[in-house]
Amino acid sequence: MSNSPISTVDSGTPSAHAPHGPVHFVGICGKGMSSLAVALHRAGIPVTGSDEPIAYGEPVALLQAEGISHRLEFHPDHVIGASKVVISRQYSRGNPEVEAVLAGQIPYYSLPQFLLEHFLHGQKNLVVAGTKGKTTTTTMLAWILEKEGLSPGYLIGGVPKDEMPPARFPGQGLNVIEGDDYETLFWDHSPKFAYYRPSTVLLTNVYPDHPEYHKGDESSLGHFRTLICQLPANGLLLTGDDGPLTRQVAEMAPCLQLRVGFEESADIQVTRWNQDENGIHFILAATEFTLPVTGRHNVLNAAMAASAAKHHGVPLAHSAAHLATFRGVQGRQDLVGSCDGIDLYRDLAYLPESLQMVLENFRLQFPDRRQVLLYQPFIVNGLPGKDAELAAVMSQFDLVLLADVFKPVLCAPVNPGFSDTVQGMLVARATPVQRVGAVDEWTRFVPPFLEPGDVVLAIAHPKVQPLLVHIVEALAH
C-alpha cells in the first residue's frame, strides 16, 4: 500500500503563517486549547499558559506529558513576553490576564481566529460538526489521512487512544477540524466553526443542545447554517443523520450533498453491520471494514470518515486498512476500573439520543449483566422539554443512580430542579432510582447500591471524570 500523497490533493507548500514568537494561552486546560498548545509546542513554537486550579482530566495530563509549562492560576505577569495570546471563550473581562492583554495591546485571538489567520487560509479544510460524534469522526478522518501519508493539519477536541497527538499544524494543504457551535470569545457570539472556511463538511447530526446559547431550534439551526452557507459550489456536505433538524440545515448547502446511513434511501449505504468480541464489522460500497471499537454509532462515524477521505482521493480499501487499527478517543466508553466483578465505565452521553446509543451497545456487549447508570447532570442537561425523553431512556437501565446537578448556580437559568424532576419521572415509570448526592459524596453513597456482576455506566462532567476512579477504590474497602 502506497504512503505517497494522493495526486488530487494539493500537497505543495502550505500558505499558512505559523507564529514565530511565544504564544500564551489564557485557559490552556480546555480541550481545544490544550490540543492547539501541543501542536504549536511540537512545531517548535514556545508555549505558556494559565488556567483555574481545578481538575481537568485529560488536558492536564496531556500538557504535563508534553512538558508544556502552565500555571493553575491567573496573573497579569503571565502574559509578559508573549508575542500573541489565545483566549478561551470561558474567560472574559475581569480576568487579570485578559485585562493585562487589553491594557498592553498585545495581539490576541480566540482559538478559531488563531487557526484561521495562521493555518487555514488557502487550505482545503474538512470540518466535522454536529451535536454528537464529531470528536470520534474527526479523529477517524485525521487517522486515515495521516496513515495514507497526506500529513494533514488537524485539531481534535479530545485525546486519541492511538499514538497521534490531538492536534498538528501546519499540515500539507489539507486540514481536519473538529467544529463546535459554542460561541467564539467574550465579545464574539458567533459559533467557533464560523471561522473554519470549509471545503468539505461532515455533519453527524443536529439535536437540541446548549440551551445556554440557543433559544430553541431556530437559534441552533442558525448557528449550523453559518457553517453550511460557507461551502463552495464545488464542495461537499456529508450528513450522517436523517433527523428533521439535520435535513433543515442540509437544505442550505450550495453544493453536492450526500447522506451516509443504514437505510436504502441513503446515498452511501452501510450494510451488514454487526458486532462481536473483535469490534464492529460492516460493508461500505462493497468494501469490508472491521474496527476494534464498539457501537452502531461508531459504524456511522467510520463510514462518514471513509466517505470524506474517498472524496479527497483515498480509496475505501485504504481507509478500511487504516481504521482496522483505530482504537478510539479517551472518555468514550472507557473502563475506569473493576473490583469484585463490578466494571465501571465512563462516557459523555448526556443527551437522550446518545445515551440510547451507548445503552444499546452495552446491551450487546453485556447481555446477561445488570446495567447500572450513574448520571450526573450538568449545565447542558437542562434541556427544556427533554426531561421526559431522557427519563424514557434512563428507565431502560436496571438501576439509576442519580447525582445532583453539576454547578447548580450555572444551571439555575436553565433547569435547577433537573435531578428532582427526572427522579419523579423515573419513579412514575417504576424504575429503580437512588439519589447519590454531589460528586464528593459518591464514594460513600454509590458502592452500597452495586452488586457483583454489575456494569456501571458513569455519565459525568469532563472535569469530574478523573474522580470516578475513587469509586472503584471505595469498592475495594
* 8 falls within a domain: no
Distance, in Å, from the CA atom of 31 to the CA atom of 329, rounded to the nearest integer, reads: 13
Over the stretch 385-409, which tens digit does the pLDDT of each residue have? 678 888 999 999 999 999 887 765 5
Q: What pLDDT score was predicted for residue 3?
A: 35
Q: What pLDDT score was predicted for residue 385?
A: 65
| Residue that terminates a domain, selected from 79, 109, 139 | 109
Q: What pLDDT score was predicted for residue 218?
A: 53
State the DSSP code for 118.
Answer: I
394 touches 386 (CB < 8 A): no
* 329 falls within a domain: no
339 touches 424 (CB < 8 A): no
Is there a single domain that holds both residue 87 and residue 222? no
Q: What pLDDT score was predicted for residue 11?
A: 34
Reduce the DSSP state of residue 72 to 3 states and report it: coil
Q: What pLDDT score was predicted for residue 409?
A: 52
Q: What is the CATH number of the domain that holds 187?
A: 3.40.1190.10
Is there a single domain that holds both residue 262 and residue 383? no
Q: Write the single-letter amino acid at 305.
A: A
| Residue that terminates a domain, selected from 81, 109, 137 | 109
Is there a single domain that holds both residue 103 and residue 153? no
DSSP 206-242: --S--TTT-SSHHHHHHHHHHHHTTS-TT-EEEE---
238 touches 127 (CB < 8 A): no
Is there a single domain that holds both residue 306 and residue 167? yes
What is the Cα Rg of the chain in Å? 22
Is there a single domain that holds both residue 147 and residue 279? yes
Which residues form the domain of 161?
A: 113-323
* 150 falls within a domain: yes
Q: Write the single-letter amino acid at 204.
A: T
Tell how far CA 326 is from the center of its chain: 16
Q: What pLDDT score was predicted for residue 21?
A: 82
Is there a single domain that holds both residue 46 and residue 78? yes
Number of domains, the chain: 3
Q: Residue ranges of the chain with pLDDT lower than 70?
A: 1-18, 54-56, 208-220, 378-385, 407-416
* Rounded (10°) angle between helices 134-147 and 316-323: 110
Is there a single domain that holds both residue 105 and residue 126? no
And the C-alpha cell for 409? Answer: 448556580
DSSP 346-373: EE---SHHHHHHHHHHHHHH-TTS-EEE
Distance, in Å, from the CA atom of 413 to the CA atom of 416, rounded to the nearest integer, reads: 7
Is there a single domain that holds both residue 139 and residue 263? yes
pTM of the model: 0.84
94: left (phi over 0), alpha (psi -120 to 50) or beta: left
Is there a single domain that holds both residue 268 and residue 340? no
Is there a single domain that holds both residue 274 and residue 314? yes
